[in-house]
Amino acid sequence: MPENSIDHIDFEDLNKRSISPHIITHLYTADPSAHVFDGKIYIYPSHDIDAGDAFDDLGSHFAMEDYHVFSMEDIDSTVKDHGIALHVDNVKWAEKQMWAPDANEKDGKYYLFFPAKDYKGVFRIGVAVGENPEGPFTPMDKPIEGSFSIDPAVYKDDNGEYYMYFGGIWGGQLQRWRNGVFNPNNSTSPIAFLPNDDEPALLPFVAKMSDDLLEFAEKPREVQILDEKGKLLLAGDNERRFFEAAWVHKYNGKYYFSYSTGDTHFICYAIGDNPYGPFSYKGKILNPVVGWTSHHSICEFKGKWYLFYHDSSLSKGVTHLRSVKIAEIQYDEDGLIKTLEPYNDFSIL
């Protein structure tokens, strides 16, 4: 939530009421992407730091510069920090802001997918390759051709095909690509190129990956998110429309596309029949947490499903200093996800 809404919060009490503890406390981490490799849970988060940058709607204060990889033997075991897996200084094309990453595995190699701003101030998506899930990772010299915006999430389908989902508005620059090329004008305003409230909301993108997972195998296409009438969600429907943090998982043969609503602080989901969509909106997975952003992943481990997310309660509400948490999610008989309230008997709305 916005920082001016937290003055009334007793953070010691809030953390007692939390449905889950922070699992990493020696540094600040956010935007956790979780996967199971070799029977262990591996978490690929962004690494929050206080770089002293000004707070603004472009996210300048999110000045992350490296990635750590974490692993867990079991869902409630001690988390191991494997140290720095990749630093911006080792990425030739990237200048700053190593935001939310993801990872995946193919043929015994591990791939870290990450957004960063290039030296023109434009977000691109890069790939780095390692021999182990914890890294270290060696980055490619150039970003993925045709990539833009933020929040890559790479889903491996049952047939062995890999798909990258990506995009984020405001600081994520998605609105600056509405005409297919980057529009740098009015660069201090995140809303300069957003649709009107009665127009369809901006959509995330998806592209099948090449066999080596280093490039797109096709031109990225929009991922449609539909309302109960089969119409695209509108830009003014900001408690349901896409903002950032795309993620896909599969449950009982259906594809679940989940995402953050950004400025309204929900994690929502929609369901479809194939990885390209369209996806029909179904509801909320997580209600608002302390901290401006919500960003998550969903992972199955030993027959149960878990939501990996973050909040800012450990830093007493500092927006850009967040900490990772885990909560079990449950489905009803129709495959709908039961909404989680992050704090018992406590609402920050």
Instruction: For 134-144, write each residue's pLDDT tens digit.
Output: 999 999 999 99
Instruction: Read off the pLDDT of each residue in 259-284 and give the average, rounded to a whole number.
Output: 98
Calculate mean pLDDT across residues 79-100. Answer: 97
The whole-number pLDDT of residue 242 equals 98
Is pLDDT above 60 for 211? yes
Residue 336 lies in a domain: no
The least confident of 55-69, 90-104, 263-277 is 55-69
Confirm whether 26 is domain-assigned. Answer: yes
Helix (H) or strand (E) holding 155: strand 153-156
Q: What percent of the chain has pLDDT over 70?
A: 96
Residue-level pLDDT at 6: 63
Number of folded domains that form the chain: 1
Asked whether the predicted pLDDT for residue 219 surpasses 60, the reply is yes
How much is the pLDDT for 1? Answer: 41
Question: How far, in Å, CA of 143 to CA of 157, rounded?
Answer: 24
Cis peptide before 278 (omega within 30 of 0): yes
Residue 338, in any domain of the structure: no
CA distance 15 to 17: 5
pLDDT higher at 174 or 348: 174
344 within some domain: no
- Cα 43 to chain centroid distance, Å, stands at 12
The reply to whether 166 falls in a domain is yes
CA distance 26 to 237: 38
Which residues does 305 contact at the CB level (< 8 Å), separation at least 6? Answer: 251, 298, 299, 328, 329, 330, 331
Q: Which of 107, 106, 123, 115 is nearest to 33 (CA)?
A: 115
Beta carbons of 11 and 316 less than 8 angstroms apart: yes
104 — pLDDT class (breaks 50, 70, 90): very high
DSSP 345: T
Predicted TM-score of the model (pTM): 0.96
Quick check: is 341 in a domain? no
- Among 6-10, 93-97, 255-259, 315-319, the minimum mean pLDDT is found in 6-10
Residue 108 domain-assigned? yes
Q: Which two tokens stand for residue 19?
A: 């449905």
pLDDT, tens digit, for every residue of 66-84? Answer: 999 999 999 999 999 999 9
Determine the residue type at 330.
Q
Residue in 197, 196, 156, 150 with CA at minimum distance from that of residue 174: 150
For residue 5, the model assigns a pLDDT of: 56
Q: What is the CA radius of gyration of the chain?
A: 19
Please report whether residue 270 resides in a domain. Answer: yes
Domain extent at residue 202: 3-329
Kindly list the catalytic residues: 31, 244
Rounded Cα distance, 149 and 165, in Å: 11
* Predicted pLDDT of residue 292: 83
pLDDT in tens, 24-48: 999 999 999 999 999 999 999 999 9
Q: What's the CATH number where 212 sits?
A: 2.115.10.20
Question: Is residue 315's pLDDT more than 90?
Answer: yes
Asked whether residue 257 carries a pLDDT value surpassing 70, the answer given is yes
CB distance 228 to 281 below 8 Å: yes
